[in-house]
Structure 1
Amino acid sequence: MDVLTKLAKYPVFTIDDLMKFTGNKKTAYTQLNRLIKRDWVRKVRKNIYSVVNPTTGQIVATRYQIACAITDTAYISHHSAFEYYGLANQIFYEVYVSSETKFNHFEYEHVTYKYVASRMDEGIFEAKNTTGIRITDMERTVVDSIKDFNKIGGFEELLNCLEGIQYLDENKLKRYLDIYNIQGLYQRVGYLLDHYRKEMQLSKEFIKYCKSKIGKSRRYLVSEAKGNSFYNREWELMVPEGLFEITDQGGDIRV
């Protein structure tokens, strides 16, 4: 079995992977340069390579497999995790990659891979039936996306994603919320998931739990939407008028 056939079993590979078949680094680099010159292998970024599928003319690695190969601790999160689960309303030309090790944003084939600092190591698993993908579970994805919607994805897209969820494990939600331990996050998660409580099969006790953690500070649900907002006394939140109409009617938040 030649080297290319062996490498084809890897969605992405490094020079160390190639060394397993060549025996030493010098031979590995010689083989790699030969394969790249013949366009049988392409370089994605420093020390990340993928075999080219001769049928499609594209590399075999998906955007998600590339993302998870960037660092040893990299995993798919936020809106990109919703995309992977098939819940996203829009497919972005950005992949959000959480990692304990920082890396510089980079672009490959018109897709930008963006670093997000990893704030916890729970709620991450290896995807089944697909090699080389680590991703946040649904509950962690929801909490992270509500926490960071102003930086990642936007509020309207967040609501579109939440509408498609049919079940959430509330014990996991509590666990991730408690790790972050941010009063404003309990407020936003509690308020938003209360709206989808029946669809997501959440108990009233979970909503009460979120409510017990919010403190007495009044906050804006959407910090940019300070115009036509109303005060929700139950959650101590300033909420944009017609909030949940934006997904029903395909409109924008009115400010």
Structure 2
Amino acid sequence: MEHYERMRRMGCLTRHDLEEMAGSRQALPTLLTDYQRKGIIERIRRNLYAVVDLESQRPVLSRYQIGSRLFPDACISHRSAFEALGYVDRPSHDIYVVTKSRFTDFKYNGVFYRHVDMRAEISAEWVDGARVTTLEQTIVDSIHNFEKIAGLEEVVRCILRAPRPDAEKLLLCLERYGNGFLYQKCGYVLEELQEHVNLPESFYRECREHCASTVRYMAKEAGGLVYSRGWGIYAPELRK
């Protein structure tokens, strides 16, 4: 218990942290067993433990804080970022974590932590002690991966709850991806939501300059798609 206040401030501990507290590698198994038996720490995954508040018997850190501490470059992303930023009414049981480090999806304290591969540099900020993708990064990521993670209707609902995004920051995120099809998808979705996002015409002009030259299908299922001549894309009709 002599280390408890320090442990609370840290929130999460690695085996190295605990070994330092134990004083030696040989003493670590005893300390681990003792702390877990007393409910001071809980195993999150290999080499990572959550510190537990002794009064509430809940982890000291939030689900978003835990997700962003899985690896040094870990960041809460996609629908989970909309949650952490405060633009989702009902949190899900999934936390999406973007990182270059590979990990197998796992469950801790009723929450599934899902790996998202980091394929490009991202824009992030600290929100209530968790590293979270910025609003603009979250919008671009969510449109890019809508079929895998949230579904386009849910992405649209999140965008409509969020404040107006910054056009230059959106373009910076798109530039990092360097994907013509993504310019098409983002241009189409955001123009359909123009009454809310209120982006300048220069944003859409820039997107069109980088669009793929071929007609594309935004969803794998071709049924129910409408053709957008302005974007050269077959896409779901958005419900606003």
TM-score for both structures, normalised by structure 2: 0.92
1:102 aligns with 2:102: yes
Q: Which residue of 2 aligns with 1:63?
A: 63
Gaps of 5+ in 2: none
TM-fit CA distance, 1:64: 1.3
Matched residues, percent identical?
A: 30
RMSD, matched Cα: 1.9
Gaps of 5+ in 1: 248-255
Q: Which residue of 1 aligns with 2:234?
A: 238
Q: Is the 8 A contact 1:15 1:29 kept in 2?
A: no
Pick closer, same or farther for the CA change 1:197–1:161 going to 2, 3 Å: same
Q: Which residue of 1 aligns with 2:14?
A: 14
Aligned mate of 1:151, from 148, 151, 159: 148
1:8-53 deviations in whole A, cap 9, x for unaligned? 1122111222344443333344323211111222111112112222
Q: Which residue of 2 aligns with 1:82?
A: 82
Aligned partner of residue 174 in structure 2, secondary structure? helix
> Matched residues in 1 for 2:229 and 2:51: separation?
57
1:174 aligns with 2:171: yes
Pick closer, same or farther for the CA change 1:160–1:142 going to 2, 3 Å: same
TM-fit CA distance, 1:94: 1.0
Q: How many residues align?
A: 240
> Matched residues in 2 for 1:90 and 1:210: separation?
32
Pick closer, same or farther for the CA change 1:54–1:107 going to 2, 3 Å: same
Q: Is the 8 A contact 1:197 1:203 kept in 2?
A: no
Where does structure 1 differ by over 6 angstroms across 4 or more consecutive aligned residues? none
Amino acid at match of 2:186: V
Q: Is the 8 A contact 1:105 1:113 kept in 2?
A: yes
Q: Is the 8 A contact 2:39 2:54 kept in 1?
A: no
> Matched residues in 1 for 2:167 and 2:187: separation?
11
Amino acid at match of 1:34: D
TM-fit CA distance, 1:75: 1.0
Q: Which residue of 1 aligns with 2:42?
A: 42
Q: Which residue of 1 aligns with 2:182?
A: 185
Q: Is the 8 A contact 1:219 1:236 kept in 2?
A: yes
> Matched residues in 1 for 2:235 and 2:144: separation?
16
Amino acid at match of 1:237: I
Q: Which residue of 2 aligns with 1:118?
A: 118
Q: Is the 8 A contact 2:137 2:173 kept in 1?
A: yes
TM-score for both structures, normalised by structure 1: 0.87
